[in-house]
């Protein structure tokens, strides 16, 4: 199967030489998403719950552009600048991933692009072409 680049103007643009997502071999690989407003590019700051909602919302928009949704996600990685935010992020995460929870890794990192507080990437099952 050939890889297909997924791009949508409804989600924030990539901030480097990478794609928003790539569809290959029955999966959709969504690049790490920040809590950036899709229209202004401004990051949500000061409220980790709102930042997590915006980040997951960006993933959802990209998955929809690829013909999938959050229920198709099989694996995520959550990167937090402060592990003290873990519980609040979990509360938000649980609102979006309600069925057959995906596998997940959550790690604390020293820094994130644009000095964001959170970044999440995802792997989802792609619908049949």
Task: Give me the active site residues, please.
Answer: 106
User: What is the distance, to the nearest Å, from the Cα of residue 97 to the centroid of all Cα atoms in its chain?
Assistant: 12
User: How many C-beta neighbours within 10 Å does residue 61 have?
Assistant: 18
Q: 64-95: b or e for each residue (b if 16 or more CB lie within 10 Å)?
A: ebbebebebbeebebbbbeeebeeebeebbee
């Amino acid at each position: 199967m050939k890889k297909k680049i997924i791009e949508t103007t409804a989600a924030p643009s990539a901030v480097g030489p990478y794609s928003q997502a790539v569809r290959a071999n029955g999966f959709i690989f969504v690049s790490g998403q920040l809590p950036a407003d899709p229209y202004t590019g401004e990051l949500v700051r000061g409220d980790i719950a709102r930042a997590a909602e915006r980040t997951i919302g960006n993933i959802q928009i990209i998955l929809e552009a690829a013909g999938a949704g959050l229920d198709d996600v099989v694996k995520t990685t959550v990167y937090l600048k402060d592990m003290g935010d873990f519980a609040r992020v979990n509360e938000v995460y649980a609102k979006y991933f309600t069925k057959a929870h995906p596998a997940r890794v959550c790690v604390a990192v020293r820094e994130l692009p644009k000095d964001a507080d959170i970044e999440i990437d995802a792997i989802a099952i792609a619908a049949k072409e």
